[in-house]
Structure 1
Amino acid sequence: MVRVSIVIPCFNAGRTLSQTLASLQAQSHLDWEAIVVDDGSTDCTRLVAAGFAQEDERIRVLGNSGNGPSDARNFGATCARGDIIAYCDADDLWLPHKVARLIEVFDSQPQIAGCFGQVVFFDGQRDGTVSKIHRETLDIPTLMGENPVCTMSNLALRRAVVQSSEGLDNHMVHNEDLEFLVRLVGQGHVILGLREVLVKYRTNPTGLSANVRAMAQSRRRVLATAAKYGHRSGPFCEAVHLRYLARRALRVDGPPLQALSLGLRGVCTSPAGWFSAPQRGVLVLGATLIAPLMPRALRHALFSR
């Protein structure tokens, strides 16, 4: 049986999909399958995927009904044959040792339901900053403030856990991964953080800029799920979340006024929450204050790396 099934939802990903699939073919451990779910693309995505599948029998290409990435991921997971299900977006890259590391971790720690590592942000050419993991395992209070997993490309779960869950919420486009994680942790599943980089996460400044309002709306669903497990948000938690968004805006080279707005809102919402990690609070606030005064190239050099 295949050990690791990699679910890749795709929508008009023809420009980046070949790099993603090539990063899987470069894995040091060969016992994997990739399930490429084309979610109604109108570009060359299907042709790119089919070309790889023709040359590599580990890659399968499936069609979906165009209901969005959550539905595509859920559908792909139902078709998985591996006892570990991992997710990868069609524009991200896996480091060559990731499959081997996943197998090692799941085999040595039978008590865990899933794991994730650190990600390095990159703009398609250059690597940037690396995400942080501050706790060994995920908990709901942490997830209510920030998402150390960062991206679905960084999450792997036992197939039995995925099958027993309701999967990702098909009605959510933003924060669906966060809501899924809150549900899993709330149900008692242990998700382990590995302090090592396993994924290159491609930055998308226009996505963050265009979707901050939508992200705020979907966050309400995340908080509602957390409340079902006895956890409620407050000013402290909201300030931590705003600090997280401000840091993400800087990392992905988003509009500097957006980062500034997030920073000021966070400090005003709860100074104690914003500076709950003192060094991070000072650095992020300082960066949001000076970013609007800098040329874009300098901002990118300082904050995206």
Structure 2
Amino acid sequence: MSSRPRISVLMPVYNAEQYLAEALGSILAQDGADFECIVVDDGSTDGSAGILEDFASHDDRLIIISRPNTGIVGALNDGLEQCSGYYLARMDADDVACPQRLARQAAFLDTHPEHVGVGCWVDYLDPEGEHIWTWKMDADSSHIEQRLLEGDIGGLVHPAMMLRLTDVQAVGGYRPECEYVEDYDLFLRLLDRGSFTVIEECLLGYRQHPASINATRDRDNRVAIKNRILAITRQERGLPPKTLSVTPVRTEETILRWVSLALLDNNWHSARKNTRRLLRTAPFTTAPWRALWRLAGAGIGKLRTRVGKSLHNNVAVS
């Protein structure tokens, strides 16, 4: 590895022992990429520290920062101070990077100086790591900017992003007052330095988790902070005010959405699996029965398609 690596991977960790080894392994197994991996252990109380020490003892590309818990923004900024690469690749401790991720994204930024960052398509994974759906987001830079200015993340999945480190440093990194939406805030500020796009290839397994009471509370905070950021940004750009509303987050609605997304991909295994999950975890809500109804409707639609194709083939043969 050269004295200055081409890429700095930044991974915050907090009580991630269940998934950490897989996430680290996927980064350290990258093909054709010169990188360092800065991992910030944000005061984990589970077995994460031991896993990190074991990996670091076998691979000197891994740099561990251990510190008391302060939250995601503090961890990210402490990690940024240690990053020395030309490009900054974000990674979460429960996701899985495809072997070509870093090389593909760095090669893109090498040849597209107008872009400040690049994401990619992502595979939604359930908590057990099984595929739910592939999010094939729009790669058009103007559409991404428009969505960001409307309060949408624009298809930019934070742990799937590679950014130019000098630009991230120039805008001041992550802002503590924007915790919960630190990625959205960073992307808005980076718009002044360049555009965003995504590589139309799935390069990250993006693990999903059911909503919780904390997630519902955090959602209120996220929307309030996002509205403040959005108001300032739109005013600076001469755009009319826009206010986002709070949508309650419930565990059963999250899992029901997984069923719907799986059906969009014709992923019947995942749709059935998460319908069973609903029947186990939320049997006294309407969600399991709505999932069953969607399964039945999709099944009827699939049967009609098969019958239609069969009739068409029979007519063509006769």
- Structure 2 length as normaliser, TM-score? 0.73
Q: 1:11, 1:118 → 2: CA distance? A: 25
Corresponding residue number in structure 1 for 2:252: 255
Corresponding residue number in structure 2 for 1:221: 228
Bigger drift between 19-28 and 59-68 goes to 59-68
List runs of 5+ in structure 1 lacking aligned partners: 261-290
Q: Is 1:161 aligned with 2:167? A: yes
Bigger drift between 104-113 and 143-152 goes to 143-152
Q: Quick one: which of 131, 143, 146 aligns to 2:152?
A: 146
Q: Is 1:22 aligned with 2:25? A: yes
Bigger drift between 194-203 and 217-226 goes to 217-226
Q: Is 1:72 aligned with 2:75? A: yes
Q: 1:190 to 1:40 in 2, by over 3 A?
A: same
1:202-226 per-residue CA deviation (whole Å, 9 max, x = no partner) reads: 1022254453322222222331342
List runs of 5+ in structure 2 lacking aligned partners: 258-284, 297-318
Corresponding residue number in structure 2 for 1:200: 205
Q: Which amino acid aligns with 2:131?
A: D
Corresponding residue number in structure 2 for 1:128: 132
Asked if the contact 2:87/2:165 (under 8 Å) is kept, the reply is yes
Bigger drift between 207-216 and 63-72 goes to 207-216
1:224-264 per-residue CA deviation (whole Å, 9 max, x = no partner) reads: 342353234437xx4xx88xx79xx7xxx93339989xxxx
Q: 2:36, 2:294 → 1: CA distance? A: 36
Counterparts of 1:266-305 in structure 2, within 5 Å, are: 292=286, 294-295=288-289, 298=292
Corresponding residue number in structure 1 for 2:242: 234
Taking only aligned residues, the RMSD between alpha carbons, in angstroms, comes to 3.0
Asked if the contact 2:8/2:35 (under 8 Å) is kept, the reply is yes
Q: 2:220, 2:173 → 1: CA distance? A: 24
Corresponding residue number in structure 2 for 1:137: 141
Aligned residues: 260
Q: 1:299 to 1:33 in 2, by over 3 A?
A: farther
Q: 1:257, 1:61 → 2: CA distance? A: 34
Q: Tell me the CA shift for residue 132 of structure 1.
A: 3.6
Q: 1:44, 1:77 → 2: CA distance? A: 24
Q: 2:193, 2:107 → 1: CA distance? A: 22
Secondary structure of 1:183 counterpart:
helix
Q: 1:301, 1:65 → 2: CA distance? A: 46
Taking every aligned residue pair, what percent have the same amino acid on both sides? 25
Q: 1:93, 1:35 → 2: CA distance? A: 16
Q: 2:21, 2:47 → 1: CA distance? A: 11
